Amino acid sequence: MLMTTRPMFDLALEGGFGIGAFNVNNMEITQGIIEACADAESPVILQISKGARQYANIRFLRRIIDACVEEYPSVPIAIHCDHGDTIDLIRTCVDDGYTSVMIDGSHHPYDENVRLTREAVEVAHTHGVVVEAELGMLGGIEEDVVGLDPETYQREIEKYLTDADEAADFRAKTGIDSLAVAIGTSHGACKFVNEPKLAFDRIEAIMTTCPGLPLVMHGSSSVPREFVDLINRYGGDLPGAMGVPEPQIADAVRKYAVCKVNIDTDLRLAMTAKIREVFATNPGEFDPRKYLGPARAAIVDMVRRKLEMLNSAGKAGAVIDHWSRQGQPMPSHYSRVA
């Protein structure tokens, strides 16, 4: 069932779980994500970045997602724009039937971030679309999102974390529905020089100044060692790959107001590891089904692992019931294929 993130976050805030926000780029990744969520009876956010739109064409991605909605009507699904950077892109995503958008003005001065975010909220809310924004700065690199280098970020982390009082001011001035916060996470596979420790005290402070505001963690892939080793064993080169420890992410969603956790790098690692393994162990293989099939199965396993970490399994029915009780059917443009 297609919906906004609002009913998901309503329950997550009180229920001690988080919603997995997984980036989609092609059919196999999307199929793997939705199969795992259907098996676990978990709500899910399917994220489309600007890079994914350029790579796959939004018409193709929307039709793949529409097929997921039809095949798995019991799975609550939100379509989310990941790291939108312009109002034109936000308008386009709304027209393309997204149910949630992120406007990322975190790289701008504070006043410009406020102005850009407020305009995005005005555009999206007119069509019933919810808005996520970002305040603070992360490290690492993901597509067009370029943060600080890992060494600098970890050494000077305190000055880049989201300020709780500023978050309250930002919320009041923009009218956002959720906030991506900088609490020590970082984009990419080689996120850190040393094992990170999430700033739970900063989350608590933001929860105090922004009560009831759903928080979002970007850069939250855990970069499992077994997949890094598999990639390196079969010809890859990922020295120093390190992610956010899964127990810390689990604490963030079970004990604090973190309702959405973005996961992309771990899916890429799982898929790439299995494709490399097939090519290395069977050099004569040229049937795409024989290497994309195992890659898709690896996506299923990885997403199942993340849903357990997020404690979202079994929550799909409650989210749908909550959404139905709100009496707010989806606007007609949501069901229109882009």
Selected catalytic residue, list 10, 39, 66, 82: 82
CA–CA distance, 122 with 86 (Å, rounded to integer): 13
Task: DSSP letter for 138, please.
Answer: -
Any catalytic annotation for residue 95?
Answer: no
CA–CA distance, 326 with 328 (Å, rounded to integer): 5
Residue 263, classed as helix, strand or coil, is strand
Question: What residues contact 105, with CB distance under 8 A and at least 6 apart?
Answer: 85, 112, 113, 114, 116, 117, 133, 134
Closest CA to 306 of 23, 8, 6, 7: 23
Buried b / exposed e over 225-250, threshold 16 CB at 10 Å, is: eebbebbeebebebeebbbbebebbb
3-state secondary structure 142-195: ECCEECECHHHHHHCHHHHCCCHHHHHHHHHHHCCCEEEECCCCECCCECCCCC
CA distances from 75 to 15, 57, 131, 212, 307 (A): 18, 24, 21, 25, 13
Residue with tokens 């069509």: 127
Rg (CA), the chain: 19
Say how many C-beta atoms besides its own lie within 10 A of residue 305's C-beta. Answer: 16
Are 2 and 69 in contact, with CB atoms under 8 Å apart?
Answer: yes
Residue 34, classed as helix, strand or coil, is helix
Are 160 and 202 in contact, with CB atoms under 8 Å apart?
Answer: no
Residue 245, classed as helix, strand or coil, is coil
Residues designated catalytic: 82
